[in-house]
Chain A
Amino acid sequence: QVQLQQWGAGLLKPSETLSLTCAVYGGSFSGYYWSWIRQPPGKGLEWIGEINHSGSTNYNPSLKSRVTISVDTSKNQFSLKLSSVTAADTAVYYCARRYCSSTSCPFDWYFDLWGRGTLVTVSS
């Protein structure tokens, strides 16, 4: 079964760059979009952006100026970089697979697989 394993630095100082990577094991990497989603402590979910195996990306407009998502198809991995972090970027960051059912493709999408999450704390 497909699993997502994620890792990256958990403690950053303001103005540094957040860097996380997510690896896909046990299934197809191509043919899907792979997302990053974050959740500040005690708050809701926020979509950050996504990438497919060809490197095509979509970003949340509110974060677009600071976000870069890249892909390494040779390793079935995708990565997130978020620059100039502040305390407001403190959150659990999740990687996830975007999916659609046979009846809803290609118009409606959801996230059927999630990584376990990485807590990233920004503090001086």
Chain B
Amino acid sequence: SYVLTQPPSVSVAPGQTARITCGGNNIGSKSVHWYQQKPGQAPVLVVYDDSDRPSGIPERFSGSNSGNTATLTISRVEAGDEADYYCQVWDSSSDHRVVFGGGTKLTVL
């Protein structure tokens, strides 16, 4: 089945830019979706279809996808952005259908 690889952790200072990657074989041919999960809470969709934002998600959250890597970019990072972030794709070629990355813990220094 399809595998998505994320770095376990990313650290960034407030006001700086955080980039969280999601690697997969030819992931650029798929749509990638990103979720933010804060401790004790359900995941929240922050980017869908590689780079679109749901209503209510700040413009500071953006995404890109090309080749073997998709990237979630968080500009002007705030303390409230500290959370786990998961990428996800829909793998219609597999019975597994839904594939999540292992998650990345974003720490705001």
- A60 vs B98: C-alpha distance when bound (angstroms): 8
- The verdict on A108 contacting B31 (CB below 8 Å), with A114-B43, A116-B42, A117-B42 known, is yes
Distance (whole angstroms) from the CB of B100 to the closest CB of chain A: 4
How big is the B interface, by class? 20 to 34
- The verdict on A108 contacting B90 (CB below 8 Å), with A103-B49, A114-B42, A117-B42 known, is yes
- A95 vs B106: C-alpha distance when bound (angstroms): 25
Chain B residues contacting A25 (CB-CB under 8 Å) are none
Pair A47/B96 contact, Cβ less than 8 Å:
yes
Pair A58/B97 contact, Cβ less than 8 Å:
yes
- The verdict on A101 contacting B96 (CB below 8 Å), with A44-B102, A108-B31, A110-B90 known, is no
Question: Is A104 positioned at the interface, with any CB of B under 8 Å from its CB?
Answer: yes
Query: In this complex, what residue of A is CB-closest to B99?
Result: A47
- The verdict on A112 contacting B86 (CB below 8 Å), with A46-B100, A61-B96 known, is no
- A50 vs B90: C-alpha distance when bound (angstroms): 13
Pair A94/B48 contact, Cβ less than 8 Å:
no
Chain A residues contacting B97 (CB-CB under 8 Å) are 47, 50, 58, 60
- A77 vs B31: C-alpha distance when bound (angstroms): 29
Sample of 20 further A-B pairs with CB below 8 A, known A45-B43, A61-B96, A108-B90? A35-B98, A37-B98, A45-B86, A46-B100, A47-B98, A60-B96, A61-B95, A94-B42, A94-B43, A101-B52, A104-B31, A104-B48, A107-B92, A108-B30, A108-B31, A109-B90, A110-B33, A110-B48, A111-B33, A112-B45
The interface bits of chain B over 40-70 (1 if a CB of A lies within 8 angstroms of the residue's CB, else 0) are 0111110011001010000000000000000
- A94 vs B103: C-alpha distance when bound (angstroms): 17
Distance (whole angstroms) from the CB of B51 to the closest CB of chain A: 11
Cβ 8 A contact of A45, one of B45, B49, B100: B100
The interface bits of chain A over 90-124 (1 if a CB of B lies within 8 angstroms of the residue's CB, else 0) are 00001000000101100111111011110000000
Question: Is B23 positioned at the interface, with any CB of A under 8 Å from its CB?
Answer: no
Chain A residues contacting B48 (CB-CB under 8 Å) are 101, 104, 110, 112
